[in-house]
Structure 1
Amino acid sequence: MAIPDSPLGTRVELQIGGTLENVTADALTRDPITITRGRRDGNSRCDVSQASASFKNTDGKYSPRNPRGPWFGQFGRNTEMRVSVQGPEAYLQLTGEAADIATTPDHASLDVAGDLDVRIEATADWYAPNSSQTLIGKWSSTDGQRSWILRFFNSSLVFNWTTAGTDASAVFIQGAIPGGLRRAAFRATLDIDNGAGGKTATLYWAPTMAGPWTQISQGTAAGTTPIFASTTALEIGPSQPANVPPRLPVRGRVHRAEVRSGIGGTVVASPDFRALAEGATAFADSAGRTWTVAGAAQVSDREYRMVGEVPTWEPKWSVGGKDVWTPVEASGIQRRLGQGQKPLASTLRRRIPTATGLLAYWPMEEGRDATQAYSAVAGVQPLSVSGFDFAADDSLTGSSALPKLKNSAKLRGTIPRSTAAGWQVELVYRLPTMPAAQTEILRVTVAGSTMRTAVVYASTAGVRIETLDSTGDVIAFFTHTNPVAIADFAGVWNRLQIFTSDAGGGQTNVCATWRDVTTGGGTWTAATLITGAQGAAVGVAGDWGAATTDMAIGHLAAIALAGSGTTPGSGIYQHADDGFSGETALDRLYRLSDEESGTIDLTWVDGDPSRPSEAMGPQRPLELLDLLYQAAETDGGILYETRDRIGMAYRDRTSLYNQDPALTLDYAAGEVAPPLEPVEDDQDLRNDITRTREGGSSARVVLADGPLSVQPPPAGVGVYDDAQTRSLALDAQALQIAGWDLHLGTWDEARYRAVTVFLHKAPHLIPAVLALDIGDKLVITNPPPWLPPGPIELIVQGTTETLGLRTWTITFLCTPAGPWTVGVLEDPVLGRLDTDGSVLAASVSESGTALEVYADPFLGPRWVDSVGYPGEFPFDVTFGGERATVTAIANRADSFGRTVANSWGTSSSGHAWTETGTVASDRSVNGSRGVITLAANVSNFRFQRIITTPVGDAEIRVRVSTSAVATGESALPAVLLRYVDSSNFYRARVHFGVSGTMFCSVTRGSTQIGVSQSLPYTYTAGQEYEVRVRLTGHTIRIRVWPVGQAEPAVWHHTETVVSSPIEAGGVGLMGSAFAGLTTVNMELRFDQFEIVTPQLFTVARAVNGITKAHAAGTDLSLATPMRMAL
C-alpha cells in the first residue's frame, strides 16, 4: 500500500447466500465509507458501531425483493458486511476449528533427538478461561504418536513433550504470561541433558520473534531420554479434541514460527506468512519444509476496519431512474442485541435445564394469579398445586419471585420413569421457623425398589429422612439432631436434595442434604440405609399445614443420576441458587458468553491475570446486553464491539493501567491534522460520588479541597454529584469504587476530545493505527508552544474514519491517560509516593538549581534524602508548570562530632554555619556539642544560621542543655526562624530558669509574644531536652521533652505573630539570657540539630522545555506520583 500514489486497497464484502462476495466495484466513490466505533460524548457504554456505504443498483442487485437481481433471495436484513484495507503484511488466519490449520509432513530433520527450540508469533485472545488453545506441535489427536506441543491454557503458556509418544510418558511445564498481550511471540526450549542427570525446560515471551525474550517459567525433570520421534506431521494448530477441555487450534492470526534443532541452533522449520500472497494454499519455508493451508484456514493480508450487519435495505433513485443506488449502514452486534430482546431468566431457571439426566423441572416462577406450576421439560405435566401464594417471595437472588405456602397447601407432580440406577430430587426453600412437631417437608415416590416412598420431616427435635414400603410401613430412617444442623434448616434459603447412592452388597443409601445458600452456613446430611435397589423417582408430593405457613419453595427438579456415598450426583444448582454472587466480572462475562454462545461472540484482554477482576453481586434477570455492561461497569473496563468479526470484546480495568503508547504522533512533524483543540469543560467532572451496592449499603466520597473541589468558585467549582448503583459482592467495595470514580472524575487536565490523522499523508503511521484498538494509549509529542509542554497522553475511547479511493482520515475520540497511570511497587518511577503539601519555601530564579522545598508536616512526610537513600535518585518533580530532575536532596543537620574554636565551622551535613552577634570566642564545638558561651553581655543575641536564603515555613528539632543551673535569671537557648537582621526575626526559646525551673516562649525580635509557658520539668546541669519547633504561616509551636522519653503529642506553647509579621528569613539557632543571669560563663549546648523541613533540592531545570522564575509558595510534587489503583 503506497497511498496516495496508488488506491488505498479498500474492500467491501457482503455475505451472499453463505459466500463472501467482493462488492467493492459497486461501492460509489462519491459516498466515502465512514466507520464509527467506540464511545463518545462521555458515554459509559460504547455506541453501536456503524459503517456506511452506497452501492450502484442500476441492475437491481441490491434490491432484496427484486427477482431480476442476481442475488434474489440470498440476502436481506442483517446481512453481514465487511470493510477492510490491505495491510502491510500477510498472516495465517485460523478459525479455532480442528480442520483449519497449516501443516507440513513429518521429516527426519523434525525428529529432534537433542535440545529443542520452538518459537511462534501470533495474535489471539490469550486470556480465555477454561480454554486450551494449541499453537504448534508434532502431536497426534490419538495417543501413541505424540512428540511435543506448545499451547495455551487459562492465560498460561504450556509446553508438553513425551518420551514414548503417549500421554503416560508426557511431561509439561507452564507459566503465566503478562497481561494485556495481543500480538506476541512465545518460545519453549528443552535442554535434554542439563548436566545434572535431568532435562530443563524454559518458557519465554517477547513482543515479536526478534525479541527480547523474557523468561516466564523454568523447570527440570529427571532423566535425559530424548523427545519421542513421532511420525506425526508438524502442525500449526494441532488438535486433541477428546481432551477435557478439548485442545483446539488457536483462533486468531499466526505470523511466523520456527523450530530449531538445538537451543538457538539449526532451523529445521520456519513458516513465515508475512510475505505470502493473499490466498496462498501451499509454500516452502526457508528450511525446505513444504506447508499446506488446510480447511477454512487462510492466508490473508486484509485488515478489517468493520464487520457488521446491514439491518435495512432502502433502494433510492433519481427522477427518471438514471441514478439508482442503495445506501447501507452496517451496525455492530449491539444493535441487534438491543432490539426486542427479552430479559434472561433467573440463573436457576437457566442453569437447571442443562443438568445431565434431567427428568422433570418446575421453576414455580409464575405470576400471582397462576393456578399451576408449568414444566420446563417438554412432555412433563405441570405441577398440580393448591394453597400457593405465587410470586410472594423475591428474596432468593438466583430466582425470580417464588410462591409461599398458605395454611393448607398441596403439591403433586409426576416424574417420567428412568431406567438409570439412582435418582435425585432437589428444590430450594425458605422455612421461616422450625416446627415444634414433626412436619412433612417433601415426599418422593419411588418405583423399582423395596422403598416406595422417601420423606423428609423437620421439627425442633431434628431433621428426619424416612423410607417406607408399599404398605406404608417404615423401612429405615435417620434423624439428624445436631443443634447447628437443625438451626441451619430454617430461617434462611436452603437447597434440599433427596437422593440415592449404591452402598454395595445390594444395599442403597437414601440421603437428605440441606445447605444454606445465602449466608454461608454449613452443609448437612441425614442418611439411612435400605436393602434393595435404588429404583427410580416417579413422583413428588407435599402436604402442608399451619406449621409450614409462609414457607417459600421453588425450582423443584428430578434428575436421573445416582450419588456417591452421601454426596449427591448432580451439583447443577451450585452457585446458580445465589445468582453467582461473588464471581468476578471476567468470570461472569465468560459464563454469559458461554451460555449465550449462539448469540454473542465475546473475547477479552486481561491486563493482570494474577489478580481477579471486581467481585460481583447476584445476577438478576436482565437483557443480555445489560448484563454484559453491568459486569463492565462494576469492573471499570471497556466493553466494545470488535472490528474483525461480529462480536464484542472486553478489556478489563487493569489493561488500561500504565500502558505503553500504541501510537505516537509528532505534532511538530505534521502528523496531527488540525484542529487539535484542548477543552477545559465540566463534561466529565464529578466531585461528589455516591456508589451503592445493589441491595446493600452505600458509600460517598467528596473532594473537599482543591481547584476541582465542591467548594464554591473560586476555591473550587461547586458540587457535581453522581450517584450510581453497582452490582457488587460486598458493601466494602462501594467505598473503594467511589474513591476510584472520584479520582477519574476530578482529574485536572484539559481534554483533547478529538485527534485527527490524515493517513494518506502519513502512511508510515498505518501499521500502528491498524494495531491500535479501543482503550489503547495515544501520545502526542512536541505540541505547539501555545499549549502546555508535552507529551499529551490520551486513551482512545472511539474512532471515526473515512475511507476514500486515495484518502484515509481517522479521528480518535480521547480522554486523558493520566488517571490510568497507577502505582507499581518497586518500580523506579511508578513506585514513588508523593509528599502532600510540598511547596517552594523560597523563590528561585530562572536559572537557579537549588530549591528550598517545604513539606507540610501536617499533611505528610518529608522527602527522602540522597545520603540515606542514594538509590532513589534521580527523579522528576514539577512546579509552576516546569519539570525538573532532582539529583540530590540535602537535610541540614549537625551532630557536632568535631572540635572547633571561635566558630561552629561546617555542619556534619556539609553546610556552613553563619555567625552574627558578639565575639567569635563565644562559639565553639567541643567534639559532641555546639556551644554558645555567655561570657559577657549575656543578654546580647548570638545568631547561628545554617539557612541564609529567606524561607518561610519550617520545622526544627534540636537537643539543648546548659552547663549549670541558672542563677539570677534564665538562660535562653532558642531556635531561630525568619532571620532578616539582628532586630527582625522569630525566636522559639526554652527558659532554663533558676532553681531548675523551665519555661518556653516566642518572640518577634526582642519582643515577647504572649506570656511564657511553664514546662512540666525541672533540669540539672548538663541534662538534655529535646525541642521541636514548627512555624506555619505566622504561628509558632513549641514542644519540649526530656531526652530518652517519648515525644508528647501536645504542643506546650503556641503563639501567632500578628504585629509586623515577617514573611521569610534565615533559619538556625541562637543563644542569650535575661540580663540578670549571674552564672559565670554559662554554656548553652546544642546537639542533634536537624532542619526537618525545608530540604535543599539540587535540580536540573527545564526538562520539559519550560524554565522561568518561581515564587515562594509554588506547589511542588512528583512528576509521576504513585496513585493507588482500584
Structure 2
Amino acid sequence: MAFPVTPLPLYVGLAAGADPVTPATWTIDDITADVRVGQGVTIQAGRQDEGDVVGATTLNATLDNRGGHYSRVNPLGRWYGKLDKGSPVQARISRIADTFSRTTASGLGTDPVSGITWTGNTAFSCTGTQAQVTIGTDNFTATTIASQVTGYDLEISYTSAVSVLPVGASWVMSAVFWYDATSLSYYKAHTEFQPGGGIVVKVQRVAARNYIDVLGITATGVTYTAGAKIRTRILVVGGAILVKVWPATGSEPAAWSASVTETMPQSSGAGVGLEMWRVAGMTNGSSVVASVDDYRVDVIRATTPVPEWPVRWDQSGKDVTAPITGSGVLHRLSQGQEALRSPMYRMITQFSSLVGHWPLEDGSGATQLANSVSGGRPGSCTASLTLGADGGPGGAASVVQSPIDSTMSGIFRRSSATAGWQISFGAKLATTAPVAETTMFTWTTSNGYLWTWAVRSTTFRLTVTQDDTVLMTNAVTFGTGYFPTNWLDYRFKVSASGGTVTVEAAWFSTDLGAIGTTWTFSGTPGALASWRMATNTATADALWTHIYGVTGLADNLQSSAVQNAFDGYTGELAGNRAARLATEEGIPLVLIGPVGTKMGPQRAATILDLLRECETTNQGVLSERGAGLAYLNRVGLYNQVPVMTLDFNVGHVAAPPEPTDDDLRLRNRIRLSRPSGSEVTVQDDTSISRSGVYADDVEVNLATDPQLTDHAWWRLHLGTVDEPRWPRISLNLARNPSLIGAWCTVRVGSRITVANPPATFAGQSLDLIVEGWTERLGPYSWDVDLVCSPARPWDVAVYDSAASRYDSRTTTLASTAAAGATTLVLTITNPADVWSTKAASQPYDLVISGERVRVPVGGMSTVSGTGPYTQTITGATRAINGIAKSLPAGSEVHIATPGRYAL
C-alpha cells in the first residue's frame, strides 16, 4: 500500500562537517528518527507573495536533542567537532522501492507498494525475487521507464548482476533519469561489466537518439565474477551527477567512484528507469541473463546548509530539542560577501608565475601603486598622476591618467634568469599618435638590457639596447582598427634558444582580436627587473591599466580569456555570465533555457549582485537548485508546456484561493537606462488614462544602446498585463496522490493550469507561473501552498504557427449583439487592423466583452468603407468559453490568443 494509506516515506539526512556546495564530499546520515513527527518538515522555496526576488530556500524541522547530538559544544555528541554552521541537511521522499517480488512474463508490471507502473520494453520480466532481462542480440538495448517517478534532484540505487563473465565486449546496466518521452531525451549512468571482470562507470546524455558522453569511462577498482551482485548508487543534485559502485556483499564506501557536473542547460525533470545494453562484439551466446533488484529512487525536495544549531528545552529541562532552519546558498551569498575585483584583476592574479602586477586601480588619494603579488613592492608615482580615473576598458575598475611630465615605475620580484618571460600593459593615448617617434613605455632586465616601446604616426617600434649599444630595433604598423588612441593591451613574450632571443610583440583592442609580429636578435633574455612610464607633450594624458609580468612562457597573456576579461566580458550572454561567475566562485549553478541577452561590462560588485544583474538585465529568474543555484533565462519562460494540470471540479485545489487584483506590479511608464549609456522612455497611454502613472526607473547592464528600446517595451508589456496574482493555490497531496509525480517536476518559473475555476472566473481556466511555494510534510500529510502569477505575459508568437496571430487595437462592435446572435458587425479605425478573410487562416476566436466568439471558415466578410472600416461576421459560434451574454455596442474586439513579439 502507498501513501496516504501508509506513512509518507520521508527521510531527513545530515552531512555533518561537509562542504555545503560540494556533494562529492557528503556522507549523509539518516536522522529521520530524530525529527519530531508532530512538527514534520516545512520547506519554503522561490519568490513569496509581493517579493521582488527569489529568497533562500528554507527547511524547518524540530529535532529530538535529548541525547545532545545536535549541541555543537557537547563532546559526547555523535557529530562533535563536525556540526558546523553550514552542514547540509536534506529532505527527500522515497517514490519507489521496488523489490520485484512478483511474477511477470512481459514487462515489469506494477510495484504493489508504490502503485507505480513500469512501461517500455517487454524483454524485462519479474521472477518473484528480482527483475531480469535476457538479450541474445549484439548491440541490443532494452529500456523500461517508471514515468511517474519524476524530479530534478534524485538519489537512485539498485543491485545488478550478469549471469556470465562477458567475452569480447561489455554488458551495461544503466540508471535512466530526466527521461522525456516526447523528445526521447534523457540521461543515464552506466555500471559497465567489462570482459575480464572489471567494473567501470560512465554518464551519457541522450538527445533524439544521439549519445553524448558527459563523463567518459572511469575505472572504479571494483571487480566481479559471473552472477556476483554489484550495488550502484547515483546522486543527482543540481548539475552534479555522482556515481559509486561496490560489491553488494561488502560495505558501501564513503567515496564516490566518479563525479561530473553537467553544464548543458536543463529543461526537464521527467521520469526514471532502467536500460540494459549488450554491447556489439559480445560472444557469450544468446542466454545471457542480467538481473536487477532493490531498485529505489528518492526525490530530493530540499538541500540546505544549517547556519544555526539552537538548543531549546521545556520547563522541566528534560524535553530538549533543536529547532533547525536550513537556509539555501542565497542566504550565505546575501551576507558577509566582499565585492569581486575587476575582471582583469581576477584574470591576472590567476597566473601562478607572476613576478609583479600593478593593477593601477588605486583610489584617487593613493600615493603609491599597489602590487597584487604577495610580498611584491608597490610602484612609485608622481603626485601629478590622476589615480582612480574613469574611462578604462570594461575589465578595469579604474585607470591612471598621466599628464605631461608625470612618471610611474615598478620593480619586479627578483627571479633567476630563465629561458623566457612576458610583460603586458594596457594603454590608450589621449591624442593622435605623434609625428615624431616618442617613447611610451620602457622596462629593464637583469642582464642590463633596456627595452623601449615607442610610437609614431602609423607604427610602433621596439628597441633593445645594452650600454647604449643597439641590439635590436624594429618597427611595425599598428594594423587596421588598432590605433593607439583606442584601448590596446600589449604583450611582449621573450624566449631564447642557442644565443638567439625571440621577441613576440602582440596587441589587441577591446573590439578586435590580437595581432602582432616576431623579431629575433643575438643575446640572452635575462629576467624582468623593472618598468617605467614617463610622459611628454606627445603622450600627455594617456590612460594606463594593469602592468604585469610573468616568468616563463606557460601562461598566455593574449588568450581569448584575457581578451574577454580586458573588455569586461562585454557582449557576454546573461546565462553564460551567470554560469561563469558561479564557476569562478565555486557555486554550483544549473542553466535552464537558452542563455539570453548580451550584457555590458562586468562591474565590481558582490557575486550575488552580479548574478542579480544578470537576472535583471535578461528578465530571467535566479533561484536555488540542490546545493547551489539555478538560472532560468527569460526565453525559458516563453510558451511553456504546463507541467501540472489541476481541476477545481475534481478537488485538486484544497482550499478556496484568494486572488489579488491590485496594482503591485502595474507599471505603465518605463524609463530604462544603462551604465554610462543612453536611456529610453516608453509608456502605455491607455493604461495611464485609466489608472494614472505607475512609473519604473530601471538601470540594466545591456551591451549597447540600441537594445534599450526593445527591452523597455517588453518591461512595459509585463507591467500592463491586467490579470490578478494568485498568492495561494493550495494542494493536498494526501487527498490527491496522483498529483505527486507532476508536483515533483514543478520548479520556480514552471507553468501550471487550473481548470473550472469558481464562477467569478467563468470560462477562464487559470494559466499561471509558479513563483514559489511552501510545502509541509508529515507522516500522513503533504500540503502545498503555491504562489503564482499570470502566465499570459510569457506567451509569444511563433513564426508561421496557426496559433500565433496579430491582434487588433482599433476594432469595436458596431452595434449591440444579443446573446446567441450569430451575425456581428465590426468597426475598425486603422486599416492595418482589418481581419483576415482567408479560408486557410480560419476558424479563429475573438473575445468580445469577455465572451469568446468563433469566426467560422468563410465567416468574415471583406472590408467595406473608406474609414472607419466595416467587416461582418456571419455564422459565428457564440459562448465558446461558456459565457453567453448580450454584447454592447462599442465593445473592444480582440483575438482570443494574441501573438506578441518576443524580446
Deviation at 1:36, TM superposition (A): 0.9
Which entry has the higher C-alpha Rg, 1 or 2? 1
Deviation at 1:356, TM superposition (A): 6.4
Aligned to 2:843: 874
Partner secondary structure for residue 307 of structure 1:
strand
Aligned to 2:61, which of 53, 73, 81?
53
Q: Which is worse superposed, 729-738 or 375-384?
A: 375-384
2:306 and 2:174 mapped to 1: Cα distance?
41
Matches within 5 A, 1:894-933: none
Aligned to 2:543: 552
Aligned to 1:691: 672
- Distance 1:239-1:810 versus aligned 2 partners, 3 A rule: closer
- Distance 1:254-1:770 versus aligned 2 partners, 3 A rule: closer
2:876 and 2:193 mapped to 1: Cα distance?
61
Q: Deviations over 1:510-565 (max 9, x none)?
A: 34433332xx368664654313455543433334445444333231121345599x
Aligned to 1:814: 788
Q: Does the 8 Å CA contact 1:139/1:239 hold for their aligned counterparts?
A: no
Aligned to 1:515, which of 508, 522, 536?
508
Aligned to 1:381, which of 360, 377, 380?
377
Deviation at 1:111, TM superposition (A): 7.1
Aligned to 2:73: 65
1:253 and 1:842 mapped to 2: Cα distance?
51
Q: Which amino acid aligns with 2:361?
A: E
Q: Which is worse superposed, 32-41 or 734-743?
A: 32-41
Q: Which amino acid aligns with 2:766?
A: I
Deviation at 1:569, TM superposition (A): 6.1
- Distance 1:347-1:388 versus aligned 2 partners, 3 A rule: farther
1:321 and 1:156 mapped to 2: Cα distance?
63
Aligned to 1:122, which of 153, 177, 187?
177
2:391 and 2:632 mapped to 1: Cα distance?
33
Give the unaligned 5+ runs of structure 1.
126-131, 161-181, 185-236, 270-284, 293-297, 894-953, 957-1028, 1033-1091
Q: Deviations over 1:40-72 (max 9, x none)?
A: 233331012111121222232222112343332
Q: Deviations over 1:461-515 (max 9, x none)?
A: 74211121x3221122123456967x8113x32212222367x896444344333
Number of residue equivalences: 790
2:677 and 2:295 mapped to 1: Cα distance?
53
1:595 and 1:717 mapped to 2: Cα distance?
46
Deviation at 1:442, TM superposition (A): 1.8
Aligned to 1:39, which of 47, 51, 60?
47
2:880 and 2:512 mapped to 1: Cα distance?
61
Aligned to 1:325: 321
Deviation at 1:257, TM superposition (A): 4.4
- Distance 1:1094-1:646 versus aligned 2 partners, 3 A rule: same
Aligned to 2:467: 471
Correspondence 1:739 to 2:708: no
- Distance 1:506-1:588 versus aligned 2 partners, 3 A rule: same
Give the unaligned 5+ runs of structure 2.
19-26, 99-148, 181-185, 214-236, 240-255
Partner secondary structure for residue 784 of structure 2:
strand
- Distance 1:339-1:522 versus aligned 2 partners, 3 A rule: closer
- Distance 1:782-1:556 versus aligned 2 partners, 3 A rule: same
Correspondence 1:626 to 2:609: yes
Partner secondary structure for residue 350 of structure 1:
helix
- Distance 1:572-1:454 versus aligned 2 partners, 3 A rule: farther
Partner secondary structure for residue 1100 of structure 1:
coil
2:202 and 2:319 mapped to 1: Cα distance?
59
Aligned to 1:864, which of 806, 820, 836?
836
Partner secondary structure for residue 593 of structure 1:
helix
Correspondence 1:616 to 2:620: no
Aligned to 1:1125: 902
Aligned to 1:886: 855
- Distance 1:579-1:101 versus aligned 2 partners, 3 A rule: farther
Aligned to 1:16: 16
Aligned to 2:864: 955
1:783 and 1:133 mapped to 2: Cα distance?
38
Q: Does the 8 Å CA contact 1:52/1:329 hold for their aligned counterparts?
A: yes
Percent of residue pairs identical: 28
1:155 and 1:531 mapped to 2: Cα distance?
60
Q: Deviations over 1:880-936 (max 9, x none)?
A: 21223322234657xxxxxxxxxxxxxxxxxxxxxxxxxxxxxxxxxxxxxxxxxxx
Aligned to 1:310: 306
Q: Which amino acid aligns with 2:864?
A: E
Q: Which amino acid aligns with 1:1098?
A: G
Aligned to 1:846, which of 810, 813, 819?
819
- Distance 1:61-1:660 versus aligned 2 partners, 3 A rule: same
1:546 and 1:690 mapped to 2: Cα distance?
44
Partner secondary structure for residue 372 of structure 1:
coil
Aligned to 1:796: 770
Aligned to 1:1105, which of 863, 878, 882?
882
Partner secondary structure for residue 28 of structure 2:
strand
- Distance 1:339-1:101 versus aligned 2 partners, 3 A rule: farther
Aligned to 2:422: 424
Deviation at 1:679, TM superposition (A): 2.3
2:91 and 2:153 mapped to 1: Cα distance?
19
Q: Does the 8 Å CA contact 2:437/2:456 hold for their aligned counterparts?
A: yes
Aligned to 1:107, which of 150, 156, 166?
166
Q: Does the 8 Å CA contact 2:154/2:297 hold for their aligned counterparts?
A: no
Partner secondary structure for residue 714 of structure 2:
helix
Aligned to 1:531: 522
Q: Which amino acid aligns with 2:834?
A: R
Deviation at 1:781, TM superposition (A): 0.5
Aligned to 1:835: 808
Q: Does the 8 Å CA contact 2:238/2:628 hold for their aligned counterparts?
A: no
Q: Which amino acid aligns with 1:613?
A: G
1:689 and 1:1113 mapped to 2: Cα distance?
30
Aligned to 1:677: 658
Deviation at 1:817, TM superposition (A): 0.5
Deviation at 1:156, TM superposition (A): 11
- Distance 1:339-1:254 versus aligned 2 partners, 3 A rule: same
Q: Does the 8 Å CA contact 2:153/2:238 hold for their aligned counterparts?
A: no
2:820 and 2:900 mapped to 1: Cα distance?
31
Q: Does the 8 Å CA contact 2:513/2:563 hold for their aligned counterparts?
A: no
- Distance 1:89-1:524 versus aligned 2 partners, 3 A rule: same
Aligned to 1:585, which of 574, 590, 598?
574
Deviation at 1:402, TM superposition (A): 2.7
1:360 and 1:16 mapped to 2: Cα distance?
42
Q: Which amino acid aligns with 1:839?
A: T
Matches within 5 A, 1:586-665: 586-597=575-586, 600-606=587-593, 608=594, 613-642=596-625, 645-665=626-646
Q: Does the 8 Å CA contact 2:749/2:770 hold for their aligned counterparts?
A: yes
Partner secondary structure for residue 708 of structure 2:
helix
TM-score for both structures, normalised by structure 2: 0.78
Aligned to 2:563: 574
Q: Does the 8 Å CA contact 2:369/2:381 hold for their aligned counterparts?
A: yes
Q: Deviations over 1:336-376 (max 9, x none)?
A: 11111100010001011223644432223223343333332
Q: Does the 8 Å CA contact 2:41/2:59 hold for their aligned counterparts?
A: yes
2:328 and 2:779 mapped to 1: Cα distance?
24
Aligned to 1:784: 758
- Distance 1:120-1:700 versus aligned 2 partners, 3 A rule: farther
Deviation at 1:813, TM superposition (A): 0.2
Q: Does the 8 Å CA contact 2:311/2:321 hold for their aligned counterparts?
A: yes
Aligned to 1:702: 683
Deviation at 1:254, TM superposition (A): 8.7
Q: Does the 8 Å CA contact 1:408/1:546 hold for their aligned counterparts?
A: no
Q: CA RMSD in A?
A: 4.3
Matches within 5 A, 1:959-998: none
2:484 and 2:159 mapped to 1: Cα distance?
56
Q: Deviations over 1:624-643 (max 9, x none)?
A: 0111111111111111012x
Q: Which amino acid aligns with 2:842?
A: F
- Distance 1:133-1:813 versus aligned 2 partners, 3 A rule: closer
Q: Deviations over 1:728-778 (max 9, x none)?
A: 001111111111111111101122221001111111111111121111111
2:411 and 2:712 mapped to 1: Cα distance?
50
Partner secondary structure for residue 888 of structure 1:
coil
